[in-house]
Every structure is written in C-alpha cells, then in structure tokens.
Chain A
Amino acid sequence: MRRTVTFRIVVDPIRCDGFGHCAELAPELVSLDEWGYPILQAEAFPQSDHELHRSAQLAVRGCPRQALTLQKIIAAQS
C-alpha cells in the first residue's frame, strides 16, 4: 500500500477579513473575489512541489487574522 501526501490551504471564513495578503503571497493558490475575499485553489498540490509549499506557508504565516491553515492530506492508495 502506498500513501500519497498532498497539501492545500483552507480558509476560516469567519476569521477572514479580506486583507488580501494571501493573494499577494501565494498568487498561484489564491485569487480574490471582487470584495477582496480569497478564492482558494480547490485541488491539492503534491508534496513534491516545494515552490507551492513555500508560497502556501508564506500565505498562512502572513495572514493578519490567522484565517488560513495548511492542510496535509494523506491518502492511502492500494
């Protein structure tokens, strides 16, 4: 059995206040709607993509409301 590890960022919509830092720090993963709230890329990115991982970390750390988390998804493959 193999395990595949992927990541994605998720937003807590209650905490988010539309500062827009995430879209600046991780434009590959986050775009903003017309009110400045984030639209996150739905599909997870693979662990091997270090650049995306770095961007995601910057966005998570740079959020002034701590509204983002980096989610690690471990899927079992038979």
Chain B
Amino acid sequence: MIALTSPYIWYTSRISGVISLVMLTLVIVLGILISTRVGGRRVGRFEITEMHRSISLIAMIFVAIHVVTTVIDTYVNIHWITAVVPMTSSYKRVPVAIGTVAIDLMLAVWLSSQLKERIDPRAWRAIHFSSYASFVAAAIHSYLVGTDERSLWGLIVLGSCVAVVLLATVWRIMGRPERAVGRTALSPLEQSRGR
C-alpha cells in the first residue's frame, strides 16, 4: 500500500477537483450557447451541441478522478459511500457533503440525458436545470474544502468560473427574446441571401 501514501494521489485529487470545476463551467456555458441558439455562421449549432456532450463526458471523467483519488488517498479518511451519500464523511462533513450533492445532481443530469429518448421531455428539462444547482454546489464545495482555494491562483480560478457562469446565465435570461430568430447561415436560404 506504499503507492496509496504517496503525496501525488493527494495532489491529483486537488488538481482534478479544480479541473472538474473548470470543465463544469465550460459545459454550462456551452449548454447556454445551445439554448440561446448561438452558432450557424462560423460554427454549426450542432457542433456546439456535440461539444457540450463530449466535454460533459470529459468533465465527468475528471470528477471520477477527483473522487477516486480522494477516496484512496490516506491523507484524509473518506469512504467510497461518501461519493454518493452526503453527510457520511468524518472529515469536514458538511463541505464534503456539498460536493457529494453536486455529484448526485450531475449523475441525475447525466442519466436523464442517457434516457432522453424514453422520458418525458419536460421531465428531462426539469432535471437538466439542476446542473445549475450542481455547479453552485461544486463551487461552494471547492471554496470550503479546496486546499488550493486559499491561494491566490485558486481564488482566481474559482472566481472566474463563478463569474463566467453568472454572466452566461444572465445573458441567457436577458437574451431570451432573440432566441426565436432561428435561421442559421448554414441553411441554403440564408446562404443565397448572403450572396
């Protein structure tokens, strides 16, 4: 079990947590770009949707790395169950639980998207909105337990992520009326008009 006492697992846990937050920010912003119908001139809208999907998968992988390294590391004693059941950690119970809540919401969003063709679209949409809650929980978790959030660069990363998501969300709400202007430049009609 020598490997498990290696500080590198702890370092991996810390940095993968930070990367997870950045990835979640990216996924949320891409999701907002989809709902506001951005794209169609230089980048296809379907490409933004594809990026949203694939980057969400990368984000989940980083979250998985964060969880696995946190659990197997011996620096803090956190059990596997804590990855999905909140308030089971003896180390920093509430801050860790908030991270667990973020993961649970993420899993709900991911699972509902996997079952998208089978469930009611309104249910999918309602569940999908909890990705905002998941991000908020992840940001709070990051601030409360993040070892690196005490340093300047950590605070800068966290602050930028929160600011970007906040701005994008406000823009999504404010930009609502423009949403219906839907023709994309890739469509033949618009192309012929452009000539």
Residues on A lying within 8 angstroms of B by beta carbon are 15, 18-21, 23-25, 27, 31-37, 62, 64-66
Contacts and interface: CB of A to CB of B under 8 A. Distances in A.
A27 B188 contact: yes
Contacts of A37: 182
B188 A20 contact: no
Contacts of B150: none
B183 A19 contact: no
Contacts of A36: 37, 180-184
Contacts, number: 62
B178 to A, nearest CB: 11
Interface residues of B, number: 19
A36 B181 CA distance: 6
Given A32-B189, A62-B46, A64-B34, A20 B184 contact: yes
A65 to B, nearest CB: 6
A55 to B, nearest CB: 12
Candidate in A15, A20, A34, A66 with the most chain B CB atoms within 10 angstroms: A20
A20 B116 contact: no
B117 A66 contact: yes
A23 B187 contact: yes
Interface in B95-131: 116-117, 121
Given A32-B182, A35-B182, A36-B183, A19 B40 contact: no
Contact of A35 (B34, B180, B184, B187): B180
B121 A21 contact: no
Contact of B180 (A15, A18, A25, A31): A18
The 9 nearest A-B residue pairs measured at CB? A36-B182, A21-B46, A18-B182, A24-B44, A23-B187, A24-B186, A20-B184, A32-B187, A32-B183
B172 interface: no
Interface in B39-88: 40, 44-46, 49
A66 B116 contact: yes
A19 B188 contact: no
26 contacts: A18-B37, A19-B34, A20-B37, A20-B45, A20-B183, A21-B44, A21-B45, A21-B46, A23-B184, A24-B44, A25-B46, A27-B186, A27-B188, A31-B188, A32-B182, A32-B183, A32-B187, A32-B189, A33-B183, A34-B183, A36-B180, A36-B182, A62-B46, A62-B49, A64-B34, A66-B116
